[in-house]
Chains A and B, each alone.
Chain A
């Protein structure tokens, strides 16, 4: 039975049921209409191409696989625990470096302002200030450990996202430039270069010679 023919029979059966008062019709008649409808639908689904059914099966399998991969990505763990944790570590790094810088600069400024009238007193003050500067430098150990934790988190996320993209065959789509990216491009805001300045001070000096 062709799809159009099946659809026509179903429509007729529904119209018949709609126009008649079902309660007043003999049960046998209603059952007959239902049977007619069921036959039409069975014929319709039976006429579906096997390749379409396998396409639906493929889509269903793909959705199941995507669900499994998303669960493996553990987005809630990343969003609720790992990213906030890394953010807190970086905040602590900024705080620690600021505190250490403040201590070291304050000690340096105090020494620069001192008048070495009594050399013994001056030497004792310098030694004490130097010790406080050394103590302040202990931030380097702590910030190193904190940054290592952040790097571990980033690697963890990178691994999961890469596995997810690989499993589902995801490729990068075109991304729209954000307002911040546009500002950075227009105003030549590139930030510090990796491994030292992109142009050395000597080369810059040559341009101004």
Chain B
């Protein structure tokens, strides 16, 4: 089934520049509705108030990290099926394994390129 490019995508990062880069890449891919949050807490509040088809989140943020956001999302019945991609500079194996155990759908290590992002979104959502 083709990916619905009009779905809401939530980009979570505490650096506005990184949000802007991901937003531009998603626009290039064809996504039309892109929302943003500056940390895990704000992202969770937005998710509880709206419907998102994909979350792309950084790990290292305050007060709530991307990892904590992932755990919260997977523990919440209404949100637990939301596809979740981590984009982070945290590249230790322990981080990748912890995220996988917590239910992340894919993991991108920074710095990354447009091709990698597109490939991981396809791996998670299907072709488009």
Interface of A toward B, CB cutoff 8 Å: 98, 101, 105, 108-109, 112, 187-193, 197-201, 203-204, 207-208
Cβ distance B109 to chain A, nearest Cβ, rounded Å: 5
Cβ distance A94 to chain B, nearest Cβ, rounded Å: 11
Interface of B toward A, CB cutoff 8 Å: 17, 20-21, 24, 28, 59-60, 65, 67-68, 89-98, 100, 106-110, 112, 116, 123
- Establish whether residues A207 and B96, one from each chain, have CB atoms under 8 Å apart when the complex forms: yes
A192 contacts across to B, CB distance below 8 A: 89, 91, 110
Cβ distance B70 to chain A, nearest Cβ, rounded Å: 12
Which 4 residue pairs are nearest across A and B when measured between Cβ atoms? A197-B91, A192-B89, A198-B91, A197-B109
- Establish whether residues B100 and A188, one from each chain, have CB atoms under 8 Å apart when the complex forms: no
Q: A208 with B95: in contact, given A109-B24, A189-B90, A192-B110 (CB under 8 Å)?
A: no
Q: A190 with B95: in contact, given A112-B24, A201-B116 (CB under 8 Å)?
A: yes
A112 vs B23: C-alpha distance when bound (angstroms): 13
Residue of B nearest to A193 (CB): B91
- Establish whether residues B106 and A105, one from each chain, have CB atoms under 8 Å apart when the complex forms: no
- Establish whether residues A105 and B65, one from each chain, have CB atoms under 8 Å apart when the complex forms: no
Contact residues of B: prevailing secondary structure: helix
Q: A191 with B89: in contact, given A199-B96, A204-B96 (CB under 8 Å)?
A: yes
- Establish whether residues B92 and A208, one from each chain, have CB atoms under 8 Å apart when the complex forms: no
Residue of A nearest to B21 (CB): A105
Cβ distance B40 to chain A, nearest Cβ, rounded Å: 10
- Establish whether residues B68 and A207, one from each chain, have CB atoms under 8 Å apart when the complex forms: no
- Establish whether residues A190 and B107, one from each chain, have CB atoms under 8 Å apart when the complex forms: no
Cβ distance B104 to chain A, nearest Cβ, rounded Å: 9
B20 contacts across to A, CB distance below 8 A: 105
Q: A190 with B92: in contact, given A112-B24, A201-B116, A207-B97 (CB under 8 Å)?
A: yes
A104 vs B14: C-alpha distance when bound (angstroms): 20
- Establish whether residues A204 and B94, one from each chain, have CB atoms under 8 Å apart when the complex forms: no
Q: A188 with B90: in contact, given A201-B108, A201-B109, A204-B109 (CB under 8 Å)?
A: yes
Could you list some 17 contacts between A and B, CB below 8 A? A105-B17, A105-B21, A109-B24, A187-B67, A188-B90, A188-B95, A188-B98, A191-B60, A193-B89, A193-B91, A193-B92, A197-B110, A198-B93, A199-B93, A200-B109, A203-B93, A204-B107
A198 contacts across to B, CB distance below 8 A: 91-93
A207 contacts across to B, CB distance below 8 A: 96-97, 100, 107
A105 vs B18: C-alpha distance when bound (angstroms): 11
Residue of A nearest to B17 (CB): A101
Given contacts A112-B28, A191-B89, A204-B108, 12 further A-B contacts (CB under 8 A): A98-B17, A189-B59, A189-B90, A190-B90, A190-B92, A191-B60, A191-B90, A192-B110, A193-B91, A204-B96, A207-B100, A208-B123
A189 contacts across to B, CB distance below 8 A: 59-60, 65, 90
B17 contacts across to A, CB distance below 8 A: 98, 101, 105
Cβ distance B31 to chain A, nearest Cβ, rounded Å: 15
